[in-house]
Amino acid sequence: MAAVQLLLLLAVSSMAASARQAPPCQVVQDDVLCSGLGLHRVPVQLPPSVQMLDLSRNQVQNLSRDTLAPQTAVRHLNLQANQIHFVQPGLFRDMSQLRVLDLSRNRLHVFALSRLDVGPLPSVESLDLSHNGLYTGMSDRFLADSPVLANLSLEGNSITKVPRGTFRGSPALRRVSLRNNVVLEIEDGAFDSLDLLTELDLSKNSISCIADFNLYHLEVLNLSQNSVEVFHSARPGAYRLRSLDLSQNRLPSFPLLPEDNVLEYLDVSHNRLRTVNASGGADRDPNLVFSRLRHLDLSYNQLETVPQCFFYCMSRLQVLNVSNNCLRSFSVTDQEVLRRVRIVNLNFNALQSLALGGRTLQALEELYLQGNRLTTLDQGLFQRLPGLRSLQLVQNHLQVCSGAGPRQDPSGCVSLSSVRNLQFLNLSENQLRTLPPDAFRDTPLELLDLSLNPGLDLHPDSLSGLERSLVHLVLRDNNMSSLRADLSSLGSLRHVDLSTNQLTSVPTWTRRSSIESLNLQNNHLVTLESGTMAALEHSLKTLYVGSNPLSCCSNLDVLRRVQDSALVVPDMDAVTCVHRGRPQPVRLNGVTEDMCRAPRVLRYVLTVLLTLLAAALLLGLLVKYCLARRHKGSRSFSA
């Protein structure tokens, strides 16, 4: 049977508008794949059992009943990216099994100008009309009789208005996308007939005002990238909205939603918020009650303060993003505020103080403080956060305390020892000058980033206490000429980045290493010590060593190890070395022992010649001395 179908398709697919023969369609069980074959019409005499027909990316212009209507078994019809501008009315009436119809990226606006309806879509559940040049009122021609249609995409058209009655012929719609149109207005009641509507995407339009939001059944609403200045819903009732995206709009104040809401995700980032409208009094604003909210994004606004009373009615909040605002301080002193929050992002503000009371934020796992003005912090701040796993302190002005106790520490340092669950710590760009001993004792760090602290000097015991936990160590771009800390004592260390420093020698490993990746790029290394490389060879898998003034003939042993082992040098093609006999740097992987043997022979010959010359001079002096003695003795005898 499959062979008969294949023969039929081979015959059918050969028919095209041009005289040249088109490639045949592919048959995979009950699927017929004709995508991108340059077809000008739908193949005729298709097998009756076809369930999925893919005619995308062809040049079909017309859809008629004589070619498609007989395909009553088709469930999925893909006509994306053709040139369709005419659809015979009633074409899909008898296609009782058709569930998915993709007509995106065609020219259906031409058909809509005829004011004809496509006719009933009796079984279609998913319809894609995106990128068809449709404007206001044209979508009605395809939706007038679609009783079970659940998913509709009108994305990327030119619709400016959503009139009342647009979706009257599609009462079963659950998901509608009007993304990337030019919608300026939504008439009252435009969605009233859609009692089952749960997801509505109106992003990338020109909507400026939602003054009376009343879609009680809606669960997901995307209004991002519009011009919304007002979002207000004062009507009482039980709303089902769980996700609301208002990012990249023009909101000057926090959106107002009814007290009886079940909102879980709220994004108001990239707006013009200057305040969150929280009075802090005993009478809480009913429009700021979000008892089920889990994710709140306030980033990229103009907030100067967010008082803790704003969070009183957000008892389930887990993710808070207030990054890229103008906060000078952030304070939480009430144990009941943000007690379930796991992630707090305060990056890129103007923070000068961070105050967290005892037993606050006990569930906090990730704290982001990058790009602020922090110079001092309460020494016990991070020790009071039992769940803290990740801490970002990049681009501040902090100094680290030692683990020996406050008596030996300078004033204003931050304590990072005994933070019992902290695994990821980033202290880059903090103008650190020294790192005292035992700085991270009893803190189980797996990743430590100390990069971009020019002039950083590590104490020999700076990393003491990390022997069993530290896996990643980043010391990039610190202008270090030497490394005093003993990395060989870190038994769990796997990845080390020492690039862009001024190291003249590789740190010495006094015992067998566990290092798998080592980055030594852009330093002042002339020789990679053979003993250190021997200690690394059992574990080292990846070595970066480019941009160093390596000596060609002093690293033959290392080159031999690279060639004879599984060690990978990803930048090998760019690794060069200096050879005395050549004016320009030489690629290290092109160096041979013969290139280094000639200078050794020459040095030997010169040594021999110099030795002979010295011997000749000495012999000459000796002869001269003897002659002088003889001459003197002879004169005395004559007298």
Residue 141 to residue 193: CA distance in whole angstroms: 17
User: Does any domain span residue 340?
Assistant: no
Kindly report the pTM of this predicted structure.
Answer: 0.86
Residue 447 to residue 463: CA distance in whole angstroms: 12
Domain housing 523: 494-620
Residue 604, pLDDT score: 57
Residue 630, pLDDT score: 64
User: Does any domain span residue 616?
Assistant: yes
Residue 559 pLDDT level (bands cut at 50, 70, 90): confident
Residue 367 pLDDT level (bands cut at 50, 70, 90): very high
User: Does any domain span residue 225?
Assistant: no
**Residue range 6-26: average pLDDT?**
47
Residue 9 pLDDT level (bands cut at 50, 70, 90): very low
- For the record, the structure tokens of 257 come out as 């939603």
User: Does any domain span residue 583?
Assistant: yes
**Residue range 220-249: average pLDDT?**
92
- Smallest Cα–Cα separation from 483: which of 492, 475, 491? 475
Lowest mean pLDDT among 68-72, 76-80, 148-152, 155-159: 68-72
H/E run at residue 265: strand 265-267
The chain-wide mean pLDDT, for the chain, equals 88
Residue 81, φ and ψ in degrees, nearest 5? 60, 55
User: Does any domain span residue 471?
Assistant: no
User: Does any domain span residue 591?
Assistant: yes
User: Does any domain span residue 580?
Assistant: yes
Position 78 pLDDT exceeds 90? yes
Query: In this predicted model, which residue has the larger pLDDT, 573 or 430?
Result: 430
**Residue range 68-80: average pLDDT?**
92
pLDDT tens column, 488-506: 899 999 999 999 999 999 8
**Residue range 13-35: average pLDDT?**
69
Let me know the angle formed at the C-alpha of 545 by 541 and 547, rounded to the nearest 5 degrees. Answer: 160
Position 286 pLDDT exceeds 70? no
**Residue range 149-178: average pLDDT?**
97
Number of domains comprising the chain? 1
Amino acid found at 308: Q
Lowest mean pLDDT among 25-29, 276-280, 325-329, 454-458: 276-280
Position 31 pLDDT exceeds 70? yes
Q: What distances in angstroms separate CA 542 from CA 45, 309, 312, 459, 562, one per listed residue? A: 60, 52, 51, 27, 10
pLDDT tens column, 588-607: 888 888 788 755 555 555 66
**Other residues' Cβ atoms within 10 Å of the Cβ of residue 145:** 16
DSSP reduced 3-state for 112:
helix
In the chain, the percentage of residues whose pLDDT exceeds 90 is: 67
pLDDT tens column, 534-543: 888 889 999 9
Residue 12, pLDDT score: 37
Domain containing residue 552: CATH number: 3.80.10.10
Q: 571 CB contacts (<8 Å, ≥6 apart)?
A: 521, 544, 545, 546
Position 565 pLDDT exceeds 60? yes
Position 20 pLDDT exceeds 70? no
**Residue range 554-578: average pLDDT?**
85
Residue 201, pLDDT score: 98
Q: 77 CB contacts (<8 Å, ≥6 apart)?
A: 53, 55, 68, 95, 98, 100, 101, 102
Residue 636 pLDDT level (bands cut at 50, 70, 90): very low
Residue 338, pLDDT score: 96
Q: Are 318 and 340 in contact (CB under 8 A)?
A: yes
Residue 97, pLDDT score: 95
Residue 4 pLDDT level (bands cut at 50, 70, 90): very low
Residue 523 pLDDT level (bands cut at 50, 70, 90): very high
pLDDT tens column, 611-631: 777 777 877 777 777 776 666
Residue 1 pLDDT level (bands cut at 50, 70, 90): very low
Residue 623, pLDDT score: 72
Lowest mean pLDDT among 17-31, 74-88, 144-158, 421-435: 17-31
Strands (E), 475-537: 495-497, 517-519
Residue 13, pLDDT score: 40
Query: In this predicted model, which residue has the larger pLDDT, 19 or 410?
Result: 410
pLDDT tens column, 253-275: 999 888 788 999 999 999 999 99
Q: Which residues of 64-89 are buried (b: 16+ CB within 10 A; e: fewer)?
A: eeebbbebebbbbbbbbbbebbebbe
DSSP reduced 3-state for 181:
coil
- Smallest Cα–Cα separation from 79: which of 110, 35, 119, 109? 35
pLDDT tens column, 385-396: 999 999 999 999
pLDDT tens column, 309-357: 999 999 999 999 999 999 999 999 999 999 999 999 999 999 999 999 9
User: Does any domain span residue 504?
Assistant: yes
- For the record, the structure tokens of 202 come out as 């109106």
